[in-house]
Chain A
Amino acid sequence: MTVNISRRIAPSAWTKEELSNFYRIMARIRAFEERVAKEFTHGKIPCHAHLYIGHEAIATGACASLRLDDYIISNHRGHGHLIAKGGRTDRMMAELFGKRTGYCKGKGGSMHCADIELGSLGANGIVGAGITIAGGVALTAKLKNTGQVCLCFFGDGASNTSRFHEGINFASVLKLPVVYVVENNQYAISVPFSYASSVPNIADRACAYGIPGKTVDGNDVLAVYEAVAEAVERARRGYGPSLIECKTYRWAGHYTSDPQSYVSKEMIEEWKRKDPIPRFREYLVANGFLTKEEIERTHQEISDEIEEAVTFADESPYPAPEEALEDVHA
């Protein structure tokens, strides 16, 4: 496979620490998701989850341009977003297990993990709903003049909902500091984007709002970083939103038990060959950032972390049934 990564920023511009951190985050997301699939099969996770496998470069590259106090709004396929923002895998796993020690005390589950301390306002089970909420988050940042930015993740399916128009129009009119990161994984459950849209690129729709739109290779972490970092900087300086489309592929299915009967095996295999993690690994090794041993060590550390996360989730207590009555009102 040819290494085709980072066309604008020369390898010399990066430090080893930065790039190894990108790699670690991507590998952590992958390991978490693979374990989620396994634990779902084992019956430890009571509801299927929408896996981020294959999308890791997007959350990693996008969140790398954020400050700690910046916000993210996530969607149903959101585990990767929270991990990339610094979320704890043990509390996430516990939430997926429905345990009291989970991020939401077992009240949210896979689709609603939130960590307000990290600026993660939660994922969303309603496709497209985060797009309008992101405008409000960015409005606070603008009114308080904090320089914070809100990164709003959604998929190609959400780009066909009314919120895409209403939310982006609103934020563009008020020049709010939002960066919309569209993960175009080419499927809304079984409906291909090529069928559901009359234009090939979601980013092309940005011109309707007079904002920058850019389509990048969503399996190239550095390409995602470059595009999002530029948009984040623009938003921070008060020039308003941007729309960054990251093209990828949902080769692990819509959710954990999706047989994907509607997708050709050849297509899945083709995209697996574009897997963002081995691809970035080759780049790191070829440019002398990491040795194979260092990479192996990283994987081992992550594997240990996920093992501990599962143990933590397993050993944590369930909430008392009556806790279902709490957190409705202030």
Chain B
Amino acid sequence: MPELNLIQSINQAIDEEMRRDPSILVLGEDVRALGAPLGEFKGLFEKYGADRVIDTPISETAIMGAAIGSAATGMRPIANIMYANFLGVCGDELINQLTNMRYMSGGQIKVPVTIMCYSGAGTRHAAQHSRNLYGWLMNVTGLKIIAPSTPYDAKGLLKSALREDDPTVFLYHATLVKRGIKSDVPVEEYIIPVGKADIKREGKDVTVVAIGLMVHEALEAAEILEKKGIDIEIIDPRTVIPLDKEMIIGSIKKTGRLIIMDEEPKTGSAAAEIAAIIADEAFDYMDAPIKRVCAPDTPVPYSPVLEDFWIPDENSLVTAVSELV
């Protein structure tokens, strides 16, 4: 089985889907000559031509607007917005247009747009290029939010997103790319359904829901904790919306304890929402308070010393687990 990195697996997913479905097109800056910021679209212009791999001016509102308009009339565009932070540039298209159109039209208009952004801290890009925005996006009703932690998941989830009739945002973590994280990716086709979480490590003492890059921090923490005799279960939700509540609650029934690890400022984070859901729906199974391991409520700093302090890591999780057991 070939071992692929995140960008290779994303590239493969798009290529396979574009070959399968002629209504898929790519809109974004630098997608033609450079194959997009990190090579996600490499080789696609040569294969599918200028009609389907469309270089755009630096105009996030035009990219998103064009994605919405073309999706409403039968295409399945990928809107490449580069960094998740840039979603703010086309905020109206995201929160007022894309995600309201089906509803406002009484179901007449569907807008199958896949927004692709890389996200997250750890690349020393400072505050305007480092956010995950999971929590912010969760409040944009109508959007499905995908945050893979491995190249294998990324490929299967992106293929799913491109077949969805709803708008999706696919957020792939820049530090997964920087660390060169790889997976075995089968040659045979596979799909990972949107809304299906994955147990990345089985355990019995504490349930840890870790999003995106945080899965890897949690796996490192698990090794440290194992030496202390604590066995954590790591659940990767893979899609933040829809959220696989059943799997999380199923795990809590076993462990009675929950920590959510989410690389975002704590206030209004995905972790906050997940904690609220579990407090509402699974309180009876809890033996301890729900804990959140998040970033502080500050912008993302630049200096490596500051940024490394800002990002939750295996030690933050070890501390949180030790407080619970």
Q: Does A169 contact B (CB under 8 A)?
A: yes
**Residues in A113-130 with C-beta less than 8 Å from chain B:** 114-116, 121-122, 124-126, 129
Task: Given the known inter-chain contacts A129-B97, A136-B66, please indicate yes or no for A166 contacting B61, CB distance below 8 A.
Answer: yes
Candidates A108, A138, A162, A167; contact of B105 at CB < 8 Å: A108
At the interface, yes or no: B92 with Cβ under 8 Å from chain A? yes
Chain A CB within 8 A of B109 CB: yes
| B224 at the A interface (CB under 8 A) | no
Within 8 A of A (CB), among B55-72: 56-57, 59, 61-62, 64-72
Given contacts A126-B92, A163-B61, A139 and B75 within 8 Å (CB-CB): yes
Q: Is the CB of A138 within 8 A of B69?
A: yes
B44-62: CB near A (< 8 Å → 1, else 0) gives 0000000110101101011
> In whole angstroms, what is the CA distance A166 to B166 when docked?
25
Segment with Cβ contacts to B, from A2-10, A43-51, A98-106: A98-106
Smallest Cβ-Cβ distance to A122: which chain B residue: B105
A140 touching B108, Cβ below 8 Å: no
Nearest neighbor of A330 in chain B, beta-carbon distance:
B165
- List B contacts of A89 (CB < 8 A): none
Closest chain A residue to B22 by CB distance? A143
Q: Say yes or no for A133: interface residue by CB 8 A criterion.
A: yes
Contacts of A125 in B (CB 8 A): 96
Complex interface residues of chain B between 71 and 116 (CB less than 8 A to chain A): 71-75, 77, 92-93, 96-97, 101-110
Closest chain A residue to B101 by CB distance? A122
Q: How far is the CA of A112 from the CA of B109 in the complex (A)?
A: 12
A185 at the A/B interface (Cβ < 8 Å)? no
Point out which of B51, B69, B96, B103 has the most chain A C-beta atoms below 10 A from its C-beta: B69
* Pair B75/A143 contact, Cβ less than 8 Å: yes
For residue B244, give the distance in angstroms from its CB to the closest CB of chain A: 16
Count residues on chain B whose CB falls below 8 Å from chain A CBs: 41
Q: Which residues of chain B are near A227, meaning CB under 8 Å?
A: none
A42 within 8 A of B: no
Q: Would B62 and A170 count as touching, CB distance under 8 A? A: yes
Asked if B68 contacts A329 (CB within 8 A), the reply is no
Question: Complex formed: what's the CA distance from A271 to B48 in Å?
Answer: 54
Q: Which 8 pairs from chain A and chain B are nearest by CB?
A: A132-B65, A136-B69, A330-B165, A104-B106, A105-B106, A136-B66, A170-B62, A136-B70
Q: List 29 A-B contacts (CB under 8 A).
A: A103-B105, A104-B108, A106-B106, A114-B105, A116-B105, A116-B108, A121-B109, A125-B96, A131-B65, A132-B64, A132-B66, A133-B65, A134-B65, A135-B66, A136-B67, A136-B77, A139-B70, A140-B69, A150-B69, A163-B62, A163-B65, A167-B61, A167-B62, A167-B65, A169-B57, A170-B65, A326-B107, A327-B106, A329-B142
